[in-house]
Amino acid sequence: MILASFPSPDRSVWDLGPVPIRAYALCIIAGIVVAIWLGERRWMARGGKQGTVSDVAVWAVISGLIGGRLYHVITDNELYFREGRDPWRALYVWEGGLGIWGAIALGGVGAWWACRQRGIRLPPFADAVAPGIAVAQSIGRWGNYFNQELFGRPTDLPWAVEIDPDRPSTVAGQLTYHPTFLYESLWTMALAVVLLLVDRRYRLGRGRVFALYLMGYTAGRVWIELLRIDTANEILGTRINVWTSIVVFLGALAYFVLRRGPRETEVEPATVPAGTAASAAAAKPDADADAKAGVATKTDVDAKAGTGAATKTDVDAKAGTGAATGADAKADAGVATKTDAVTKTDAATGTDAATGTDADAGTDAAATTAPDVEPPAGAAATADGDAATAVDAETDADADVDAGTAEPAPGATVVAAAGRPAVAAPDEDGPAAEAPATGATAITEPTGTPGTPQSAGTAKPARRAGKAKRAGRR
C-alpha cells in the first residue's frame, strides 16, 4: 500500500517562442553559478584575487561537460550504439546523461591548465572550490527529477517518487520508486556544509579539502548507486560506477593521510608569470590603443633617454598648431642657435631675439640647434644673456623703413666702432663712401672675449673699427 508519495513534473521543457527552455539545463547552470560564487568568496578569503575563479571556471566547466558526456557515453554505450539505436543521440546532452567522474577528471584538467596560465598551484585552488562543487551537484541533480530518470528500486516509502509507466527502466505494475536523485542531492548538500565546517575548524590546505570532498561523495555514491535500476554496465556483477567510487575513495584517502602540512599562505602571485598567454595580454601597453586612434602620446623622457630614443616634447605638440615656438623654447633653455653669417647686407633685427624671427627682413630665421655653442664672429648678439642669434637674410627696404633705419649707399655695409660715427665701407671697385644718412642703424659686434654674449648696439672690435677708418681716409 502506498501511504504517500510525491509526483514527478508533467513536463521538463518550456517553449519560449522558437527557443526551448529545458529544466535539466537550468539546473546545471544554476549549480555552476552558485559554485563559482561560493568558490570566489573562499578563494579571496585565502588571499586570492577577485575574478580568478570565474576565469578558471570557463575552462573547467567546458572541459567538465565534455568529460562528463564522454564518460556517460562510454559506460552506457549500449544506449547509443546497439542495433536499433541512434548514435547521434550521444550528442544530445540536454536529454541527460553526464558522468560525474568524467566531469571531475576532464574538468580538473581544464582547471589545471587555466591555473598554470596564471601561476597558480592546483591544490589550494581545488580546496577553495570543493564545497561549491558539492553544492552544484546538489542543485544539478534536480534536473534528473524533471527528466524522470536515475530513480531507484520500487518502494512504498512515504517519500517515494512517482514515475510515468512509459519511462525507461520502469517496472511493470509499479508506480513509485526510490528518489535516488533526492538522496544524492541531500547527501552532497550536507557534504558541502561538513567541508565548510571542517575547513574552518582545522584550516586544511594542500588539496586536503578536495580529497575530503572526494571521500565524502564516493562514500555516499556507493550506496545510492546500489539502489538504482537503470541500465548500466557491470564488472563482476557490480555496476561500474560503484567500482569507480571505491577506487577514487581509496586514492583520496591515501592523499589525505600522506599530504600533510600547514595551509598555503600565498595562493596567487601578485603578477602574472612571464611567458604565459595571460602575461602577454597584460603586458600590452595602452599606447597601442592610442596609436590606433591616431592620438599622439607623451613619452617618459627618462625611459627614452635610457634607450637613446628621441623624445617627444611640448614643443612638438605646439608645432601642430602652426606656432613658431622652436626658438622660444631654445632661448628659454639657454641654448644658442646659429645660422649662416650675413650674406649681401647685414641688417639689424628690430625684434626680440628670443622670437627667432627677423622683423626687418620680413622672413623667419632657420635655426639649427647647437647646445652651448659660442656665437661666430660677426654674428649679432641677442638681447638677453641666454642665447646668441645671427640672422641670415636679405635686406628688405620696406622693412628697414618700418624699423626706422635708412638704406646705406648701394653695395655698402654700415659698420661702427665704439665711440666713432658710423661710416660706409666701400665695395672693392667703388669709391669710399661718406658717412651714411642720419638715422642709419649700424650693425655692431661684441667687444669682449669671444663667446661672451653682448647686447645689440655695443662697440665693435678695434679690428673692424680700424678697417672702417682706413676706408674713410681713401
Q: Tens digit of pLDDT for each residue in 436-465?
A: 444 444 444 444 444 444 444 444 445 555
Number of domains composing the chain: 2
Residues 211 and 301 in one domain: no
Both 28 and 150 in one domain: the answer is yes
Evaluate whether 231 touches 76 at the Cβ level (below 8 Å): yes
Percentage of the chain surpassing pLDDT 70? Answer: 57
Is there a single domain that holds both residue 77 and residue 181? Answer: yes
H/E element, 230: none
Same structural domain, 175 and 306: no
* Cα–Cα dist 207/209, whole Å: 6
Same domain for 94 and 9: yes
Q: Bridge partners of 338?
A: 368
- Average pLDDT, rounded, for the chain: 72
Per-residue pLDDT tens digits for 105-154: 999 999 999 999 999 999 999 999 999 999 999 999 999 999 999 899 99
Residue 451 lies in a domain: no
The binding site comprises: 141
Using the 3D structure, point to which of 267, 302, 323 is the last residue of a domain: 323
Longest Cα pair distance anywhere in the chain, in angstroms? 149
Sequence letter at residue 379: A
Asked if residue 147 and residue 222 are part of one domain, the reply reads: yes
Question: Are 71 and 180 contained in the same domain?
Answer: yes
Q: Which domain holds residue 319?
A: 286-323
pLDDT at res. 359: 37
Supply the pLDDT for residue 33: 97
Q: Is residue 449 situated within a structural domain?
A: no
Same domain, 66 and 185: yes
Q: Are residues 71 and 169 in the same domain?
A: yes
Residues 60 and 200 occupy one common structural domain: yes
Q: How many CB atoms sit inside 10 A of residue 451's CB?
A: 13
pLDDT at 401: 39
Question: Interior CA angle at 179 toward 173 and 180, to 5°?
Answer: 120
* Domain match, 246 and 292 both: no
Query: What is the model's pLDDT at position 399?
Result: 40
The per-residue pLDDT for range 166-188, each reduced to its tens digit, is: 898 899 999 999 999 999 999 99
Residue 217 pLDDT > 80: yes
